[in-house]
Chains A and B, each alone.
Chain A
């Protein structure tokens, strides 16, 4: 991970379950008229990987109720699909807003690496508010830039209620 220049940065931290519309609104507000570059940081959730490491965890189908062994391969696949999906959505939003966007990936158990992405104090990190409940939040609080938490819930919570 390394920065490309000394421009002010707006960092958008997302997970695979982040509601993007509210976050994106905050991003565009901060970028409006500002000479800054946008970088999206995907914070990969390691819940899948951890759950998959257990020998007895099973994935229960939402449609049929049938269950299958939840393997690390399946966890990786879910992770990749989620990241790809989020990336696609952000690219679409950026294209619509005629913005350039860079992508960075960060595993939550290596959360300390996020410090390398912040260059100057004028940088802003925008993240969903549910990050407060995530392990990475401890690292965020130690960043030397401004942090903006956008009020939003983990989509997992919504989906659970379906």
Chain B
């Protein structure tokens, strides 16, 4: 039977497993090598298939949500895949807004084949310019002038005839028609002279009577004539207007007919041109208006008079081009839906159909719109507006106030434009799951989830592909060539980033950062390529930039402020390992865990939980170890223990169950009285059966304890105990690996709590023999003996107490 030292030695992790060196590469890393683009999609086949499916599925609701962490090349991937389909689809139709002549508040949308809208707009502008010349010219012609004069003469003749007959009638009656500034006075005449009251009184009665009667009759006649004048004028104006319209119609139709022939295949354009023609005819006077402003303080823009005939291009595509792929980095409401702008004029805000602006939805109509979900959700009203557009399959450009019914003023209501596009949302997984859980409409609108893998299996083929990916990104970013060794070192670092020696991280942003920083350090030393030392320098410098807090912690331990023993042994005290996550910085450090025990009622108190500093998972871990304790020792007796466990000098929250092995070891030490080695630290979670399970942050934890020990001086006794399941995750820094290689530091991997106990106490944990007993002098025997003693003591205590109570 091997001794305890041999047992412990066997648990040591071989140096080769501490850091998996990159396999030799067979690729050529020289610049200019043609790299297959597929390298960028390494390990993402599931997501790629999903995106392709979503893109090709021309059915309602098959929009795509790309799930993946920031920096995982999500946008590039989506864009490249969309391009494949966009080329097949071709450019969608153009859209314009035009004036609605019967209801200007509701501009009309006009659809034209791709590339035709610009031409149509320009032709309309040219047409209006021509009409502006043609109409005044028509009105300046002799024909028009003569016809107008004839009309005026006719009217004048009618008026004069009316007055002439009245004057004649008055003269016959001996009555004068006198004009005052505002009207007429009828007065009797005698010898061409108006007679006054005295003269009138001298007239014979019959004459006076006839004068009065004549004046009365003439007054009635005069009133009738006065009433006729406006009618005559109106009639005259109507005839002039008819003349103007016929002249205008002739001038306009000659010009418009050409345009109508050009757009004959498009009934909507023809219909619009008919409306334009009618409007021009009805408003011909605008084309004859003086260039002078109506009021001197008004700026005069004659082009504004003809603005109603302009064409407002909101979506213009190029004939023969691909379907649009739009990425909107700032999906605010106006940027997404569109907006109606206003201009300030004389203190008022004015708008018209020319000020309608399209948003990303219309720009991408007929193609693909890529949006970041966190930005969509973070901007007011955008998510609801986006869903509304997808549900109704149309874009209605209106302000959010109007959408919500808060608009108090009259606003334009542009005709909605039919929407047919694919939305590609990009976001992190938690947002996808939240939307699935809390937005009942979400799943119906985004039926395709493309889940990008965070990492890729580290097979030989994938390593080669990853090397090509590195080469591709080096080229794209115009970096110095990376040597084969440098690429290998980068690949190793990508395994470290994945926290798994058997996988490679697909987080592209961090890869790019490493490549660019290595390039920087290579250039600093005037190298013509990036070598492995530059990659190591980039990693070292990055760590250094971020290690302020870690160095403070190590310093505090070194100075004895944070109490961590790295030598000797102690009962009920063990070095656990925890990880700090501070933004980009992540580091591990030891933490002292202590346990105390006494007779009790079978509870293990987690002090962190009691003071609400422990998270739910940590509390769960403590409860599990409590169960493991009661299941393993003296199972036939009640667990009569009161134990307490605490993270010493921990003033923040504690979360996770990765300290449960350490906590159980501390408890067992306290119960058994067997001291624990302080030159070791332990991490791992435990289940109820004593099985040690893998934990996260394993590399940082080992390195954290190594750093403290290194500061105090490595003597070969120091080491860390980790779960065996974590061996595959080991990608330790070279310094740690070297220390293990030089037998200055050890890493042990355990699968069961007994193995951890044996290493920590240098004493066999002990297994039950055939009689069900743990061997003498083993830790487990001591634990069980103590627990039995506690149980008996508790029983005796209970008996005494019962007797005392009966006695009382």
Contact = CB atoms under 8 A, between A and B. Distances in A.
Categorize the interface residue count of chain A.
20 to 34
B181 A81 contact: yes
B186 A57 contact: yes
A1 interface: no
Given A60-B222, A60-B226, A54 B196 contact: yes
B194 A78 contact: no
A133 interface: yes
Interface stretch (A28-36, A62-70, A142-150): A62-70
A59 B198 CA distance: 20
A47 B183 contact: no
A145 B195 CA distance: 31
Given A54-B200, A60-B222, A78 B187 contact: no
B194 A51 contact: yes
B193 interface: yes
B184 A62 contact: yes
Chief secondary structure at chain A's binding surface: mixed
Contacts of A50: 187, 193-196
A48 B178 contact: yes
A161 interface: yes
Interface stretch (B100-108, B159-167, B504-512): B159-167
B771 interface: no
A55 B178 CA distance: 16
B182 interface: yes
B180 A162 contact: no
Given A54-B188, A56-B212, A56-B215, A160 B194 contact: no
B379 interface: no
A159 interface: yes
Contact of A65 (B163, B186, B198, B226): B226
B176 interface: yes
Nearest to B200: A54
A70 B215 CA distance: 13
Contact of B181 (A65, A78, A162): A78
B123 interface: no
Contact of A47 (B178, B215, B226): B178
Nearest to A56: B212
With most chain B CB atoms within 10 A of its CB, the pick from A48, A49, A53, A63 is A53
Interface string A58-84: 111111110100100010001001100
Interface string A12-56: 000000000000000000000000000000000011111101111
B178 A51 contact: yes
B227 interface: yes
Interface residues of B, number: 33
A127 B772 CA distance: 153
A121 B181 CA distance: 38
A156 interface: yes
B554 to A, nearest CB: 102
Contact of A161 (B159, B178, B187, B197): B159
B223 A65 contact: yes
Contacts of A59: 180, 182-185
Contacts of A159: 179
A162 B183 CA distance: 11
Contacts of A57: 185-187, 215
B219 interface: yes
B192 interface: yes
Contacts of B148: none
B177 interface: yes
A135 B193 contact: yes
Interface in B149-180: 159-160, 163-164, 167, 176-180
A60 B178 CA distance: 10
A161 B177 CA distance: 11
A49 to B, nearest CB: 8
A55 B179 CA distance: 18
Nearest to B187: A51
A78 B198 CA distance: 22
B184 A60 contact: yes
A31 B193 CA distance: 35
B185 A70 contact: yes
B169 to A, nearest CB: 13
A74 B181 CA distance: 11
B219 A58 contact: yes
Given A59-B183, A62-B182, A161-B163, A53 B219 contact: no
Contacts of B212: 56
Contacts of B160: 161
Nearest to A46: B194
A65 B220 CA distance: 9
Given A61-B182, A133-B192, A47 B187 contact: yes
A54 B203 CA distance: 13
19 contacts: A50-B187, A51-B176, A51-B194, A54-B195, A57-B185, A59-B180, A59-B182, A59-B184, A59-B185, A62-B226, A63-B183, A64-B226, A67-B223, A81-B181, A133-B192, A135-B193, A156-B179, A160-B163, A160-B167
Interface of A: 46-51, 53-65, 67, 70, 74, 78, 81-82, 133, 135, 156, 159-162
Interface of B: 159-160, 163-164, 167, 176-188, 192-198, 200, 212, 215, 219, 222-223, 226-227
Given A58-B185, A59-B183, A62-B182, 20 more contacts: A46-B194, A47-B187, A47-B194, A50-B195, A51-B194, A54-B187, A54-B188, A54-B196, A54-B197, A57-B186, A59-B180, A60-B185, A61-B183, A63-B226, A65-B222, A65-B227, A67-B219, A74-B180, A159-B179, A162-B159
